[in-house]
Structure 1
Amino acid sequence: MWAKNLRTAGRRLAEIEARREQGLPVGSTTGALTEERRDALEAIDPSWCPAWPVAWQRCYKLCRGVIEAGAALPGPGEATVQGEDLGAWVQAQRLGWDALLPAQQWMLEMMLGIGPADPDERPPAARTQADKWAANVRAARQFHGREGHLQVPRKHVEMVDGVEHKLGMFVDNARRRADKLSEQRRQELTELGMRWAKEEA
């Protein structure tokens, strides 16, 4: 809340100064950051910007302090300063580079030596439900091809290309949720000899 109020006050001061420069009436200065307060904040950190999140600027300032002390920027979990995991913050900036403003990118590059993450550093994209279904059906086909049926023990794990698939759980869940599956998905499993709960009753 404090950070939001500070940003609002900073924007209000900027609006007032812009109106003064244009020769327009200023109106009320209520809610604006005073020039003294702004000067005090700039004395602490000349790169302070009222429009940016205070948490971002705090971590930036702490990272600058680390560099100015002659240390390298840490990786995630390697250094906590004033309660901030600076390595995790640096990683978040690199991974979220495109969401940063150009001025923030410039500050990170020029002052901290931080740039965007390389493509191979990015975490893999989350698999969609369709991806998970397709992977489990591949495992079911492999099991069926080897065993000739789809009566999979509940705890059975099927390895496909070095990846474990909890096939028993998948088949059991599909059977329980048969009425919620699309016709196409039901057909895929039926072709593999799936014994649906209603048929077994």
Structure 2
Amino acid sequence: MKNQRGAARKTVENAARRAAGETGVPYAGELSESRQEALAEIDPGWCPVAWEIGWQRCYRLALAHVKAGGSLPAGAGELVVQGEDLGAWIAGQRVGWDKLMPAQQYLLETLGIEPAGEGEAVGPVRRSQDERWNTNLAAAREGHLRPARKHIELINAGGSGEGEQEAVKLGAWLDNTRRRAAKLSPERCAALDELGMRW
């Protein structure tokens, strides 16, 4: 299947080059239209040439979660899998339904995801600055205070001992906090000092 995807992408890229007026673009290695249609009948999402790979990743994570017996989240922050907030992703799909391709809509419908109803408020839940601070501080308590900038610390969502985990970009937060130390409140500085923060 991987070779088929590569050939399909090459077909689409070459077609775009030809449409732009480029001459001498070879047809070697491209998939025929009938072959692409046959593969799309088997699995509409077999080759996401028309949408980004990030969309496909979130869809596959949601599909795996449902197949494992899990239920889909109703809002942002309820389910984070491999660093992807599936609740926020689903809300975005529901709100932007009309911008999706028919194949994407079909794939979402197979998971039980439908477009947002008229007047239905669907969107990411914005957390307050204090809530974000407390989440980052909890990650600092669980991790250490000298991680690499790209380090992600997994903590239990909602502070409970069980359930879903939340991915916190601890390294970036600590780096940014050190840079903005002069703007921090004395209480926040003291909380980090208690953990052994090196400024």
Q: Structure 1 length as normaliser, TM-score?
A: 0.39
Point out the structure with max Rg over C-alpha: 1
TM-score of the superposed pair, with normalisation by structure 2: 0.39
Higher share in helix: 1
Larger relative contact order (C-alpha < 8 A, sep ≥ 6)? 2
